Amino acid sequence: MDKRLREAFDEVRADEALKERTRAFLAGKTAKRHPRPVWRLAAACLTLLALAGGALLWTTPVAAVSVDVNPSLELALNCFDRVVEVEGRNADGEALASALQVKYLRYTDALEQILTTTQMERYLDQAQVSITVAGADESKSQALLAGAQACTKGLGNVSCHCGSMEEATAARKAGLSLGKYQAFLELQALDPSITAQDIQNLTMRQIRDWINRLSGQQAGSVPGNTGDAGQSAGGNSCGSISDHGHQHGHGG
Partner 1 sequence: MRSEQEMNQVIERYADTVRRLCLVHLKNPSDTEDVFQTVFLRYLLSSTAFESEAHEKAWFIRVTINACRDWMRHLLRSSTVPLEELLDQPQEISPEHREVLEAVLALPGKYRDVVYLHYYEGYSAVEISGILGRKVNTIYTLLTRARKLLRDQLGGEELG
Binding residues for partner 1, per CB under 8 A? 1-2, 4-15, 18-19, 21-23, 25-27, 29-30, 33
Nearer to partner 1, 2 or 243 (CB): 2
Shortest reach from residue 164's CB to partner 1, in Å: 57
Q: At closest approach, how far in Å is the CB of 37 from partner 1? A: 16
Q: In sequence order, which residues have a C-beta less than 8 Å from that of residue 167 and are 6 or more positions away?
A: 134, 178, 181, 182, 241
Residue placing its CB nearer to partner 1 in the complex, 21 or 122:
21
Closest contact distance (angstroms) between CB of 138 and partner 1 is 58
User: Which residues 6+ apart lie within 8 Å of 87 measured at CB?
Assistant: 73, 74, 76, 93, 94, 97
Of 10 and 243, which has the nearer Cβ to partner 1? 10
Instruction: State in angstroms the smallest separation of the CB of 44 from partner 1.
Output: 20
Q: Which is nearer to partner 1, 14 or 233 (CB)?
A: 14
Pairing type for strands 83-88 and 72-77 reads antiparallel
Cβ closer to partner 1: 35 or 154?
35
Q: Cα 14 to chain center, whole Å?
A: 72
104: left (phi over 0), alpha (psi -120 to 50) or beta: left
Please report, for residues 9, 88, 180, 231, the alpha-carbon distance to residue 99 in angstroms, rounded to integers and kept in the order given: 88, 11, 22, 29
CA 147 to chain centre: 16
User: Residue 60 in contact with residue 73, Cβ under 8 Å?
Assistant: no
Cβ of residue 15: shortest distance to partner 1, in angstroms?
6
- Closer CB to partner 1, 21 or 40, in the complex: 21
User: Could you give phi then psi for residue 237, rounded to 5 degrees?
Assistant: -75, 155
- Minimum CB separation of residue 40 from partner 1 in Å reads 18
